[in-house]
Structure 1
Amino acid sequence: MAYHSEWKGTPYRYGGMSKRGVDCSGFVVLAYKNILGINLPRTTIEQKGVGHKIAKQNLKTGDLVFFKTGWSTRHVGIYLSDSKFLHASTSQGVMISRLDNSYWQSKYWLSRGL
């Protein structure tokens, strides 16, 4: 949660990798590198191939959650706990959302554990 406080409100910027603007996969790359020292691929599609598939009901803190938000658009966030995940939203920047929110429920695609 401290990482969220540090990044909260950082605006979304496609291709961004800084507090001036960050996209969803860039935020995941930075979080994993800075918190765990783990290097992840840069794009959402590459990130979905990392680790092992996890059922939604078995999510643990730090697992990656993926969404299909459009025909070819993908989104990724980091699962926290209690149906909450941290991500860089296109509309609100870095924020915490809920998997049980109707929007995210309808867009949920898959989860990966590292």
Structure 2
Amino acid sequence: MTAQNHVPSLLSRAGTVPALALTALAGTMLLPGAVSEARAATPGHAAEALSVAASKKGSPYKYGAAGPSRFDCSGLTLYSYKKAGKTLPRTAQQQYNKTRHLSAADRRKGDLVFFRSGGSVYHVGIYAGNHKIWHSPKAGSVVKLERIWSKSVSYGRVR
């Protein structure tokens, strides 16, 4: 029998149990510092999408392509998240509209990075950490890891 199964009997015998003891018995006690580490953890679908994008390194760019061997920018993000079990719309602008918008301080690996000009989004990649993205940049190029080159970016988290 686990500690969780003993909680009701402990409560009836002891009358009341301090909250800290109860959480420890139930197996849900957090250690100091664990909250920030848990918040910083990458959700499974984002980590998987990032891994899929990285696995496509060297795949050629093709306008309108969404894999499995050729991609445009939004085709790569759509394909990567689809493999991770999430659905995204087709274009970079539509993907921006569908995601939860974040500040740069709140971005995590696997979030989408949207490049903006004026009020519209013209490019998208998957954040890889260290100010870098996996993306399929343009005709004549291939899927690659590259440093974010612009300050006109927004971040979005796939829900």
TM bucket, shorter chain: 0.7 to 0.9
1:19 positional shift:
4.3
Q: Given the alignment of the two structures, is residue 89 of structure 1 paired with residue 127 of structure 2, yes or no?
A: no
Name the counterpart of 2:111.
63
Identity of aligned residues (%): 33
Letter in 1 for 2:133: F
Following the alignment from structure 1 to structure 2, what is the Cα–Cα distance between the partners of residues 97 and 63?
A: 15
- 8 Å contact 1:66–1:75 — kept in the other structure? yes
Aligned to 2:150: 105
Unpaired runs of at least 5, structure 1: none
Partner of 1:17: 66
Q: Which structure shows the higher helix fraction?
A: 2
SS of corresponding position for 2:97: coil
User: Aligned with 2:76: secondary structure?
Assistant: helix
Q: Which amino acid aligns with 1:6?
A: S
| Alpha-carbon distance in structure 2 between the residues aligned to 1:60 and 1:71 | 24
8 Å CA contact retained: 2:66, 2:75: yes
CA displacement, residues 74-112 of structure 1 (integer Å, 9 cap, x when unaligned): 00000111111111111421001112xxxx224x33111
Q: 1:74 aligns with which of 91, 106, 122?
A: 122
Q: Distance in 2 between matches of 1:110 and 1:50?
A: 13
Instruction: Note closer, same or farther for the CA distance 1:95–1:38 as it changes in structure 2 (3 Å cut).
Output: same
Of 20, 44, 52, the residue aligned with 2:92 is 44
Higher RCO by CA contacts (8 Å cutoff, separation 6 or greater): 1
How many residues get paired? 108
Unpaired runs of at least 5, structure 2 = 1-49
Normalising by the residue count of structure 2, what TM-score does the alignment of the two structures yield? 0.60
Q: Is the 8 A contact 2:92 2:121 kept in 1?
A: no
**Which amino acid in the other structure matches residue 29 of structure 1?**
L
Q: Comparing both structures, which one devotes a greater share of its residues to strand? A: 1
